[in-house]
Amino acid sequence: MEDLTQQRLARKIDLIRTLSLTKPHPSPKASLEQYTLPPDIAATIGYVAAYTFGDIIGKTVLDLGCGTGRLALAASFLGARQTVGIDIDKIAIRIASENFAETGLKNPVDWVLGDINAIKGSFDTILQNPPFGVQKRAADRKFLEKALEVAHTTYSLHNHPYNDPDLANRLKSVKGRFIQVSPTPFIQKLVEANNGVIKAVYAILMSIPHMFDFHRKRKLEFVADLYLIKKSDG
Ligand SMILES: C[S@@+](CC[C@H](N)C(=O)[O-])C[C@H]1O[C@@H](n2cnc3c(N)ncnc32)[C@H](O)[C@@H]1O
């Protein structure tokens, strides 16, 4: 019989609380852009994917570059049938697996240590926060290409292309909610070249603690863009 327990609306505050139990990466490498998504942002992305667009409950979900696992864990919490998280970093995968145990989630997550190139097959939904390419130009390119190869629907977080204080102020005033913006020509071209179509781009204000020596402030605040992408034939 179908299990309906996960199909009730989960409370976002409970998801944030659960993700707050999880540990971030203890020794992040700048070269891999290993910053950890704040719990509220991971929860917001999962929540929108689940309840605004119906892309999580009962679905197979893949988190490319899962780090310590918050997006994959959000998918499991929200009722994904099966979730896979893959990361190239051994410590990240070990912490992700410990985080899964700590949260006591029931919907299974497979943690894979490896390069995203190793992923084959087909998934309903991707939730990903790839390296933005701040350290290595266009590092997010291969994540988008892999996402479009293996999934119908992708939620992918990217750097907002330029400093926009007005947008940042508007995002502050809407407190944790999205504001719809336009795609960058680079991502638009890349998605179209890989048989994808961008359905929407949502800007969100991110705030992460100081992590690397080149971070001058205690807290880094910046705008990121969440792309909702579909395969053209999907
Ligand atoms: C910005 S972090 C995001 C971590 C996590 N998804 C989160 O949002 O908290 C990007 C992650 O991608 C991983 N990564 C970078 N290149 C990779 C590759 N080629 N294959 C697999 N993982 C990779 C890094 O180790 C890092 O954990």
Nearest CA to ligand 1 atom 1: 131
pLDDT of 218 strictly over 80? no
Side chain identity at 161, as an amino acid letter? Answer: P
Kindly state if the Cβ of 152 falls inside 6 Å of ligand 1. Answer: no
Kindly state if the Cβ of 123 falls inside 6 Å of ligand 1. Answer: no
Kindly state if the Cβ of 89 falls inside 6 Å of ligand 1. Answer: yes
Average pLDDT of the chain? 91
Domain limits, the chain: 5-231
Kindly state if the Cβ of 88 falls inside 6 Å of ligand 1. Answer: yes
Please state whether 88 falls in left (phi above 0), alpha (psi between -120 and 50) or beta: alpha
Mutate to test the pocket of ligand 1, among 45, 66, 136 (most ligand atoms within 8 A of CB): 66
Residue 200 CA to ligand 1 centre (angstroms): 23
Nearest CA to ligand 1 atom 2: 34
User: What's the confidence (pLDDT) of residue 211?
Assistant: 63
Percent of the chain with pLDDT over 70: 91
SS3 165: helix
Kindly state if the Cβ of 22 falls inside 6 Å of ligand 1. Answer: no
The predicted model scores a pTM of 0.93
Kindly state if the Cβ of 32 falls inside 6 Å of ligand 1. Answer: yes
Q: Which CATH architecture has domain 5-231?
A: 3-Layer(aba) Sandwich (3.40)
Cα–Cα dist 158/152, whole Å: 19
pLDDT, tens digit, for every residue of 96-152? Answer: 999 999 999 999 999 999 999 999 999 999 999 999 876 667 789 999 999 999 999
User: What's the confidence (pLDDT) of residue 4?
Assistant: 41
Kindly state if the Cβ of 45 falls inside 6 Å of ligand 1. Answer: no
pLDDT, tens digit, for every residue of 170-212? Answer: 999 998 889 999 999 999 999 999 999 999 999 999 988 776 6
User: What's the confidence (pLDDT) of residue 106?
Assistant: 94
**Quick check: 1 and 63 in contact, CB under 8 A?**
no
Nearest CA to ligand 1 atom 20: 115
Residue 5 CA to ligand 1 centre (angstroms): 31
Which of these, 28, 147, 38, lies nearest to 91 by C-alpha position? 28
Kindly state if the Cβ of 156 falls inside 6 Å of ligand 1. Answer: no
